[in-house]
Amino acid sequence: VDEKTIGVLIYYSPTGCYDCCIRCLGAVPYTSLLATLLCYTGVALFCGGGHEALTHTRTFVELYFARDVQDFIVLADFIKYFQYVIYGLASFFFLYGLLLLAEGFYTTSAVKQTFGEFRSTKFGRCLSLTFIILTYVLAVIWLVVFGFTAIPVLFFINMESSCHKVNILSETTLFNQQARVCMDARMYGFLPWNAVPGIVCGNTLANICKTPEFYVTYDLYICAFAGAGITLLALFIYVVATTYNYAVLRFLGRKGIRC
């Protein structure tokens, strides 16, 4: 038996297959992979929940807080255009997640251990630095988005709390005071101050909280809020991963390991 045959037998032996699997598993950039999964999950929750929540919000406002269409025409236009933005966000983050995952595969130190000599170029290091800057900017922007998604959640939390207070007052001797418990959508910026009625009080408010539209919209905004938070976490993990990969490229570049 010649040396080539012996090498083939060793490679296909159980030990050889085990070493091959270990090398393959070691080449996976687990941090980038985790960030990609979190990013896709968060964007799906944000886009899906946000899109449906905005649709229900228009119906909700039209039924209970604004009698004239002109009172919420600005809100209706915002909802329509932001739903188109959601489509673009979903497509952008899908492609950007793939790019960052590919960058993680080709710049992680595990690739060096798998393929031996690590090769990097100035273009590769520049590309990694570009990903760091872009991801950091996206994280800052998404932090603002995350803050804005908390506004409708806060509105519905306060509304549910007001409804609970109305129900308690209706069961006590303070029945007449329940009319003083109100919820004003104008103070959250959803409607202009001249919107009519713009505010609901007492039993009317309590009845609104019992409708299916209220709980469906509430749950959808919670999903969008959670999705925005998960996406923000994914972007922070991406920043850490890309920064580490860039540091590896810089370190190896200083040692003269390049194409």
Q: Is the pLDDT of residue 156 over 50?
A: yes
Most confident of 29-33, 196-200, 215-219: 215-219
Contact 135/66 with Cβ under 8 angstroms? no
d(C-alpha 158, C-alpha 217), whole Å: 14
Answer yes or no: are the C-beta atoms of 49 and 10 closer than 8 Å: no
Span 53-79, pLDDT tens digits: 988 888 888 888 877 777 778 778 888
The first and second tokens of residue 161, run together, are: 């709390």
Beta-bridge mates of residue 184: 199
Say whether pLDDT at 184 is over 70: yes
185 or 15: whose pLDDT is higher?
Answer: 185
Among 153, 151, 142, CA closest to 230: 142
Residue-level pLDDT at 6 = 40
Among 154-158, 173-177, 196-200, 203-207, name the one with the lowest average pLDDT: 173-177
Q: Which residue has the higher pLDDT, 30 or 19?
A: 30
The mean of the pLDDT values for the chain is: 78
pTM, 2 dp: 0.79
Residues with Cβ within 8 Å of 252's Cβ and at least 6 positions away in sequence, in order, are 112, 118, 120, 258
Q: Is the pLDDT of residue 257 over 50?
A: no
pLDDT at 213 exceeding the cut of 70: yes
d(CA 150, CA 190): 14
Cα–Cα distance measured from residue 70 to residue 34, given in angstroms and rounded to the nearest whole number? 46
Convert the pLDDT of each residue in 103-152 to its tens digit: 877 776 544 544 444 555 566 677 778 888 999 999 999 999 999 999 88
Specify the pLDDT at position 124.
64
Confidence category of residue 26, pLDDT binned at 50, 70, 90: low
Reading phi first (left if > 0) and then psi (alpha if -120 to 50, else beta), residue 248 is in: alpha
Cα gap 232→140, rounded to integer Å: 9
Tokens at 9, concatenated: 């037998």
pLDDT of residue 120: 55
Q: Is the pLDDT of residue 166 over 50?
A: yes
The answer to whether residue 102 scores a pLDDT higher than 90 is: no
* Residue predicted with more confidence, 178 or 87: 87
What is the model's pLDDT at position 235?
93
Residue 232 has pLDDT above 50, yes or no: yes
CB 36 within 8 A of CB 100: yes
